[in-house]
Structure 1
Amino acid sequence: MAATLTAPAPGTPARTVPRPPSGGWRSRWPLLPLLATVLLPALPYGFAGGGGPAVGPADIASGIAVLVCVGRLLYLRQRPLSGAAALVLGLPAVGFAVATVTAADPGAALPGLVRYLQVFVLVPAAVCLLLKDAHGFRIVAGALVVLALVQGVVGVHQYVTGTGASYMGEEVRAVGTFGPSDIMGMATVVAYGLLAAAAFALRTPRTAPAWLRPAAAVAAVGLVVPLALSFSRGVWIATAAALLVALCLTGRRQALTSLAVLGATGVVLVGGFGIGSEMIAERAASVTQVTRAPDRSVSDRYAMWSAAGSMWRERPAAGVGLKGFPAHRDAHASVGLSSGSDTAGAGQEFRRQALLSPHNMYLLILSEQGLIGLTAVVGSWAAILLSAVRRLVRARSRGHAALDCGLVAVALMTWQSVNFLYADIGGPTTVLSGVILGLAAWWALTEPEKAGTA
């Protein structure tokens, strides 16, 4: 590390002190495409070509981030990923390649290969390589909070003015700028921002200004409102699980205090002000009623889960091929599966949206990629999550300065792992899954304690 001489006191030898790291955006410009990747998913979801997957502004930004990363590796000869990090991040590519080659129509599976490589291999690797230190991590995580706040404000406005997506005959469901065709979009980004803000409030960086902790706490509590008004049961469950994990890793006293604050906030917002109380209560109660009197969406989900299992039993090793679920769905689904879900509101006319996935990422991988793909993908994600938790525990015992980054990484990775039980990739927020994996992998696999994390 570069050093500067300080003026010695009389009679004492000269000594050196570390020079502060250079700041400013001149040294952090590689983060710009990552920030664009985080902030652009809410823009209109672009164009499609040749029947391939739609390409949005955030996808283009993520491609630029990958190219910037490749350029820096080639021309600046920057250190690539360690062997362990390259193995963990690259392992899913094995399953993707096998599922593409063994598909009945490899050409039709090729767009899926490109998409899966983008989200689960290239973008996470680019995030790991472009983040130089904890400050860069905090900038990207802060962008998640900004996106969540903007979408949360839009979502609450939709509920209050009755301009949201259709829900129980009323246009009150908060969907942000994503619209009813991507009903989970706003809930996803709000959950990301809530968890990041909560982590900053629980473990504020030592060098942060005094206002950051109260601001982060207010943001986290405020984002509970649009999250509740999204009426997304799977996101509620995933957020609760991630918060519990994060709180457990901060210590018992702080965990109990934070839980009390969150409980009081829920009572005041829902019980006191009556914000969506009846609808939220009914939606929450339906979580425990899915085996007795499930609604149409739950019945369809069960049918698609069963279809995914049937596809896997037919081709257990390599699955039916990437993007193969829609083509094989009708041959394996029960007659009770409806033709699609109804969407309307938030500026969109009524339309029927086809059910093209099982809404469970693990079952989607199992059906399309078989045991080879599931082992590779889940093995990679499990390694990232377990390594992130282990490193956070170790950093906490050593009083590490970047505990906030570790808490953000663990919370987001936990949320993603749980939410994939009820959702899969699709829509403009898909690329954010790659950013989340990258943030978690940076903390878990790149030895951030040696990367200037004060």
Structure 2
Amino acid sequence: MSHLLVPLPRRAAALGPVLPLVAVVALLALPSAGDGAGPADVMSALAVGYCVVRLLRERRRPLSPRAAVVLGLPVVGLALAAMGSGSAAAGIGGMGRYLQVFVLVPAVVLVLLRGRADFRVLAWSFVGLALWQGAVGVHQYVTGTGASYQGETVRAVGTFGAQDVMGMATAVSLGVVCAAGLALGPAPRRQRVAAAGCALVLVLPLALSFSRGAWIATVLTCSVQLALAGLRRALKVGAAVVASGVVLMGGLGVGTAMLSERVDSITQVTDVPDQSVIDRYTLWAAATGMWREEPLTGVGLKGFPEHRDRHAALALSSGSDVGGAGGTYHRQALLSPHNMYLLVLSEQGLVGLLTLAGSWLALLVCAVRGLLRVRRRGPGLDCGLVACGLLLWQLTDYAYGDIGGPSTVLTGVALGLTAWWGLARDERPDTASPDGVAGRLEEAVAR
């Protein structure tokens, strides 16, 4: 029992480096203040400063050469696209956002995490955020205080509001992925049961988000996680998910006509598509038109809205209705193609797409290699499943969405978890071992 009684100051010291990252995730639980930088964005900037100070005090190299190349690769395309922007302000602003999400925040996570114990703490913070946002979203659906959807204020958006209807869906989906990975690992039974329960509970708010892209990405990612964890376990968990789905959709009356129609619309993208699908196809065509105009460097960062009308067909609507969840009704212009790959291709050209997607692909390869290695020998299977799952979810969801809104910073933290698993775990000692303070804390929590 003596190893469980770790003094409070030592506990704080053990968790100190990861606390700024947990704070970034936790601040996303606050209500959104609008389109500007939110509390989580400010905290991410403070985390970058904290990381720099620690590196200067410890006088150690921030990143390995391999990590520097993988995370720094997008800077090449961003610099060229920023120089081609219509205005200096747009170029600097766009480059700052991309650097924050895809370079700086992942690098900070990579530097500050010291072992699997820190990794799991941060992964559980994703689950906690998802549970909070999901609870707010379900309350919005039940009370009719959510965002507007088909004339009714029933869409679950959490604290992100109607301006960022994808915010809650993203937070809940990433929480499901983290919970699934933690449940499939070799942790004590109590932790695995708790994680599995969280994943099942989060299915309901994810359904009520009415986000088709998030549904598809989550189902695909969790299926891959189950397959990697083993066929027998995949069959058991699959049966549990089906049973819970029957209870939620049927027994509890969640399977409303709107939800069923939204599910059916996934397969109706060519036969009788709704206006949102028509708009998306039109925006995709406009993005490819911009790329053909400037194939190498694109039209410049934040240049899509300016060039949209010259390349969009007449089928594009003037915008989408936004309202509910405490906001006023208004018409919101469609200023992005809702496809990250096409957004990068149109604004940054082939150079930007190859450097950014190349960085993601390198991260995925490194993370999968690490996962396959621990499947054969060594601990950390749950961390590997979480890391690979987060990046796979993001790459899938980017076919239906792009960056934007307060929830975007969550992407940077998720990429950082993947980067730590794929790039850093073999380059310094893992303080999550039973011999370290963090390891003893983890054992104490487990018991």
TM-score, normalization by structure 2: 0.92
Matches of 1:452 and 1:253, distance apart in 2:
32
The whole-number CA distance in structure 1 between the counterparts of 2:15 and 2:343 is 37
Are 2:400 and 1:422 aligned? yes
Contact 2:32 2:159 in 1 (8 A): no
Q: CA deviation at 1:46?
A: 4.3
* Matching of residue 227 in structure 1 with residue 206 in structure 2: yes
Structure 2 residue aligned with 1:331:
310
Q: 1:29 to 1:453 in 2, by over 3 A?
A: closer
**Residue 140 of structure 2 is aligned to residue 158 of structure 1:** yes
Once the 2 structures are TM-superposed, how far is the Cα of residue 72 of structure 1 from its aligned partner? 1.3
Paired AA for residue 422 in structure 1 = Y
| Aligned mates of 1:350, 1:364 — CA distance in 2 | 27
Aligned equivalent of 1:408? 386
Which residue is 1:13 aligned to?
none
- Matched residue of 2:123: which SS? helix
Which residue in 2 is equivalent to 1:113?
A: 95
Matching residue's letter, 2:385: L
User: What secondary structure does 2:12 align onto?
Assistant: coil
Equivalent runs, 1:286-325 vs 2, <5 Å: 286-325=265-304
2:235 corresponds to which residue?
256
State the partner residue of 1:86: 68
Q: Is the 8 A contact 1:42 1:428 kept in 2?
A: no
Tell me which of 40, 49, 55 is aligned to 1:58.
Answer: 40
Shift of the 253–301 alpha-carbon distance from structure 1 to 2, 3 Å rule, reads same
SS at match of 1:132: coil
Provide the secondary structure at the position in 1 that maps to 2:11: coil
Q: Number of aligned pairs?
A: 426
Higher helix share: 2
Whole-angstrom distance in 2 between the partners of 1:320 and 1:63:
28
Counterpart AA for 2:17: P
Gaps of 5+ in 2: 1-5, 434-447
Matched residue of 2:15: which SS?
Answer: coil
Distance in 1 (CA, whole Å) between partners of 2:89 and 2:166 is 30
Q: Percent identity?
A: 57
- In the TM superposition, residue 104 of structure 1 has moved relative to its aligned partner by 4.0
The structure with higher relative contact order (CA 8 Å, sep 6+) is: 2
Q: Quick check: 2:29–2:132 contact (8 Å CA) kept in 1?
A: no
Alignment of 1:36-75 (within 5 A): 36-46=23-33, 54-75=36-57
Query: What is the aligned partner in structure 2 of residue 170 from structure 1?
Result: 152
Alignment of 1:266 with 2:241, yes or no, is no
Q: 1:99 is paired with a residue of what secondary structure?
A: helix
Contact 2:115–2:425 (Cα < 8 Å) also in 1: no
1:424 partner amino acid:
D
Q: Deviations over 1:241-299 (max 9, x none)?
A: 10011011101111111111111111111022221342222111101101111111111
CA contact (8 A) 1:201 1:216 kept: yes
Residue 120 of structure 2 corresponds to which residue in structure 1?
A: 138
Residue aligning to 2:340:
361
Q: Which runs of 5+ in 1 are unaligned?
A: 1-19, 48-52
| CA displacement at 1:166 relative to structure 2 | 1.5
Note the C-alpha offset of 1:23: 5.1
Aligned to 1:387: 366
Q: C-alpha distance in 2, partners of 1:415/1:105?
A: 34
Are positions 1:237 and 2:216 aligned together?
A: yes
Q: What TM-score comes out, normalization by structure 1 length? A: 0.91
Q: Secondary structure at the match of 2:14?
A: coil
Query: AA paired with 2:273?
Result: P
Distance 1:444 1:339 in 2: 44
Once residues 193 and 251 of structure 1 are traced to their aligned partners in structure 2, the CA distance between those partners, rounded to angstroms, is: 21
Secondary structure of the 1:113 match is helix
The alignment's C-alpha RMSD in Å is 1.7
